Amino acid sequence: MIIFAIIVMIVLAVRTFGFGMCAPGIIGMAACAASVLCMILARHSSRRIIFNIIAAITCAGACVCIILAGKGNGGSGSISNREKMLAQISQQDYIDEAVKRYDRYVKKYGEDEQAKLSLAMEYINADMQDESRNILMNDIQNTSSKEYYLAMVEWNKRFNGYDLVGSVMDLMSQAVVDNPDWSWGYVILGTTYYEKGYPEYAKYYFTKAYKLDTTDGYAPCYLGVIAYDSGYYDNATQFLDKAWELSGDDAYLQSVITYYRQCVAKEVA
């Protein structure tokens, strides 16, 4: 019985301190300690039965705490708490607060690339070019992830005034090689080709994006824009109508659709 209680205590210690501090884990460890103490006292007391009953009850309570600790830390709750702390890095109004949140996250969960990318984005938003570049260029190992490419796009938007479109085009050309099923990557790539004056290439990438994700309104919207530019007003209307159906609450997308609907209406009037 003592050995069992010690095993339960070890499991609770791992769940409590390995995945983040939680009340059920600490209570369970205290219950284990009480159970072990009762079993020791039972050996040297005339009230052996009472102590054994208390030991059994506290040990059972400790087992319940294992389940609760798992829900609070080791299971989905751990992921939820981790994601909340990760999100808090990006929810600060000032960079100093974002850095503090990052340090708290690292202290609890250790360094990982999600946190580093979140901090890099905050440095970008704070116009801290060197700090953000240092993270993106030196601290990130997985340079083929979608999150990395999106961060690099934002970095170029903020700091690359020389050839923004060309830089993003090069980035996203590699991004869709590394992530061939990434519909939003094709949308971004399509916009760069459109802005560079290559509508046929843009149309190819928008079409590919729409085939990969038929729930996103941006690809059909931009296909509608290209159809309008080419004088195919019926096709433009069909694409723009479809994009509107998929626009949801996206005010920016709806504004683009509305503008080109008006352009089409003027042409066919």
Residue 31 located in a structural domain: yes
Query: Of 172, 174, 194, which Cα lies nearest the Cα of 185?
Result: 172
**232 in any annotated domain:** no
Q: Considering the domain boundaries, does residue 28 fall inside one?
A: yes
Residue at which a domain ends, from 44, 74, 104? 74
Is residue 100 domain-resident? yes
Whether residue 153 sits in one domain with residue 84: yes
In terms of domains, do 70 and 85 share one?
no
Residue at 32 is within a domain: yes
Residue 36 maps to a domain: yes
Same domain flag for 84 and 54: no
Please check whether residues 110 and 42 belong to one and the same domain: no
Q: Write down which residue in 138, 159, 180 finishes a domain.
A: 159
Specify whether 131 is located in the same domain as 115. Answer: yes
Q: Which pLDDT value is given to residue 86?
A: 86
Range of the domain at 52: 2-74
Domain check: are 82 and 68 in the same one?
Answer: no
Task: Identify the domain boundary among 74, 108, 124.
Answer: 74
Residue 196 covered by a domain: no
Claim to verify: residue 128 and residue 60 sit in the same structural domain:
no
Instruction: Count up the domains in the chain and report the number.
Output: 2
- Residue 219 is predicted with a pLDDT of 98
CA distances from 179 to 42, 84, 114 (A): 64, 26, 18
pLDDT value of position 21? 44
Q: How far apart are the first and last CA of the chain?
A: 88
Q: Model-level pTM greater than 0.85?
A: no
Residues 39 and 84 in one domain: no
pLDDT given at position 72: 45
pLDDT, one tens digit for every residue, the chain (269 residues)? 555 545 545 654 555 554 444 555 566 556 556 655 555 655 655 555 664 565 467 556 655 655 555 444 444 445 688 889 988 998 888 999 999 999 999 999 998 999 999 999 999 999 999 999 999 999 999 999 999 999 999 999 999 877 899 999 999 999 999 999 999 999 999 999 999 999 999 999 999 999 999 999 999 999 999 999 999 999 999 999 999 999 999 999 999 999 999 999 999 98
State the pLDDT at residue 91. 86
Residues 146 and 100 in one domain: yes
Instruction: Give the pLDDT score at 206.
Output: 98
The two three-digit tokens of residue 122, written as one number: 């905050």
Whether 57 and 80 map to the same domain: the answer is no
Q: Are residues 80 and 66 in the same domain?
A: no
**117: which 2 tokens?**
């990318």
Residue 249 lies in a domain: no
Q: For residue 122, count other CB atoms closer than 10 A to its CB.
A: 23
User: Are 34 and 104 members of one domain?
Assistant: no
